[in-house]
């Protein structure tokens, strides 16, 4: 039986990180993020990591070829043998085509799930979001307050507020998502692997729908 590969799409603040953490534990597959993979490749001084560092040191963007190579290296590790959740990849059509052509094995099963949420309801989620740099836990000063101020309930790390979770930057992030990433919806719809769930409902209900899709159970109609 092939690997389960899960890609979560959705506006910033739609709940991709929260849902990744939940389904990672349920399916026993790793969540691998572009940022983490890039930092790891640089730290381990892989060929792609060295090239990425050169570009970043020069103030340049890391191009698709480097990102594709780093993802390819990461997804061959032993912890990905049953599958993985991709966080932040693919970000555009070129990366999506590379995933389909080069990174997927013939018996892999791909699930592309958009967590749908209107931007008008997401600003408070983002402005109030707190993240744990230790275990990846996500909190919110409005809706999911940690038991101790600015301390992760799970691992005790000090929580951080992302520098781009500012109201003046959030609208730019929404526009970037729609301009660069939203075309992936059409790409995956044509391949019959796209699904959509309502991300404005309780977290546990959204998780249940996602797991139902991955397990082959039809999600509740909207």
- Number of folded domains that form the chain: 2
Q: Are residues 13 and 76 part of one domain?
A: yes
Q: Give pLDDT, residue 49.
A: 87
Q: Give pLDDT, residue 166.
A: 84
Asked if residue 41 lies in contact with residue 76, where contact means CB atoms within 8 angstroms, the answer is no
Asked if residue 91 lies in contact with residue 34, where contact means CB atoms within 8 angstroms, the answer is yes
pLDDT digits (tens, 9 = 90+) for 40-60: 888 889 888 899 888 878 877
Q: Are residues 144 and 37 part of one domain?
A: no
CA distance 103 to 97: 10
Show the domain range for 135. 129-164
Q: Are residues 173 and 158 part of one domain?
A: no
**Helix axes of 64-74 and 34-44: crossing angle, nearest 10 degrees:** 80
Q: Give pLDDT, residue 12.
A: 86
Q: Are residues 65 and 101 part of one domain?
A: yes
Q: Give pLDDT, residue 100.
A: 92
Q: Are residues 86 and 19 part of one domain?
A: yes
Q: Is the previous residue joined to 144 through a cis bond, with omega within 30 degrees of 0? A: no
CA distance 78 to 81: 5
Which stretches of the chain score pLDDT less than 70? 217-222
CA distance 102 to 4: 16
User: Which one, of 117, 118, 113, lies nearest residue 219 by Cα?
Assistant: 113
Helix H or strand E segment including 204: helix 203-214
pLDDT digits (tens, 9 = 90+) for 104-120: 888 999 999 999 988 87
Q: Which residues form the catalytic set? A: 16, 91, 129, 162, 173
């Amino acid at each position: 039986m092939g690997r389960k590969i899960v890609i979560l799409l959705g506006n910033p603040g739609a709940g991709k990180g929260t849902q990744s953490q939940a389904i990672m534990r349920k399916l026993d597959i790793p969540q691998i993020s572009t940022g983490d993979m890039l930092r790891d490749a640089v730290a381990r001084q892989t060929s792609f990591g060295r090239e990425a560092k050169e570009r970043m040191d020069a103030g340049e963007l890391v191009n698709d070829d480097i990102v594709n190579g780093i993802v390819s290296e990461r997804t061959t590790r032993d912890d990905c043998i049953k599958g993985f959740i991709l966080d932040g990849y693919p970000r555009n059509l070129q990366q999506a085509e590379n995933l389909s052509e080069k990174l997927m094995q013939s018996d892999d099963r791909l699930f592309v799930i958009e967590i749908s949420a209107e931007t008008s309801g997401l600003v408070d989620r983002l402005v109030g979001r707190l993240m744990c740099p230790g275990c990846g836990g996500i909190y919110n000063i409005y809706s999911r307050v940690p038991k101790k101020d600015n301390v992760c309930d799970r691992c005790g790390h000090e929580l951080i507020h992302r520098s781009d979770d500012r109201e003046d930057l959030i609208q730019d992030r929404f526009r970037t998502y729609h301009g660069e990433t939203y075309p992936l919806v059409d790409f995956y719809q044509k391949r019959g692997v796209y699904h959509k769930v309502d991300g404005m409902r309780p977290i546990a209900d959204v998780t249940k729908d996602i797991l139902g899709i991955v397990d082959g159970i039809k999600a509740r109609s909207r």
